[in-house]
Amino acid sequence: MKHGRLHTIAGCMSSGKTGELIRLLSRHRVIGDDIVIYKHSVDTRDGDKARSRLGTEMEAIVVSSSDQIMRGPCRVVGIEEAQFFDEGLVKRVQELLDDGCQVYVTGLNQDFRGEPFGVMPVLMSLADELSLLTAICQKCHGVGTRTQRLIDGEPAPWDSPTVLVGGADYYEARCPDCHEVPAAE
Ligand SMILES: [Zn+2]
């Protein structure tokens, strides 16, 4: 059996990761491959859909931990928002690859502070193919590579939690020059 292949799609907020995932997976759909997409339950946008800003979408299964990710009958597995998953995701992905699966993973490579986010650095280094996408900076229209967290319209301080659930937080793409992370108060 052929060994699987890992394609990691990394980038900041609004860099088109989900759109790229759907584009890549639709090539498999055209030739009749069975596809399954998993997304983490922290991401409550769009329910059980992976939906891009281009309007494209695919069905997804919402899970809360890496051990809920199964290959089932599918040879093609997509995993959205990998940065939210536990460390077990790396082993799970490697098992899928050993099993001959084509695995596509998306995620934020940096957290709101600009630091490596969760298991994404590992999944980037293990990738057979890596797409590092950029956005447009919402402030200066330069090249956006960072994710700016805003709470009530103000840049979130360094010591706010890495993952905020259901809060008044809002995210936008920024270039490194416009990215603001105030020191803890
Ligand atoms: Zn900028």
In the set 20, 81, 129, 180, the catalytic residue is 81
Quote the pLDDT of residue 106: 98
What are 117-169's pLDDT values in tens digits? 999 999 999 999 999 999 999 999 999 999 999 998 899 999 988 887 666 78
Average pLDDT (163-179) is 86
Cα 159 to its chain centre, rounded Å, is 23
In Å, how far are 10, 18, 48, 50, 87 from 44, measured between CA atoms?
20, 14, 9, 11, 21
What are 30-60's pLDDT values in tens digits? 999 999 999 999 877 777 888 888 888 899 9
57 CA to centre of ligand 1 in angstroms: 29
Domain ranges of the chain: 5-134
Give catalytic status of residue 81 as yes or no: yes
pLDDT at 9 over 90: yes
Q: Which CATH superfamily is domain 5-134 in?
A: P-loop containing nucleotide triphosphate hydrolases (3.40.50.300)
Beta bridge partners of 116: 110
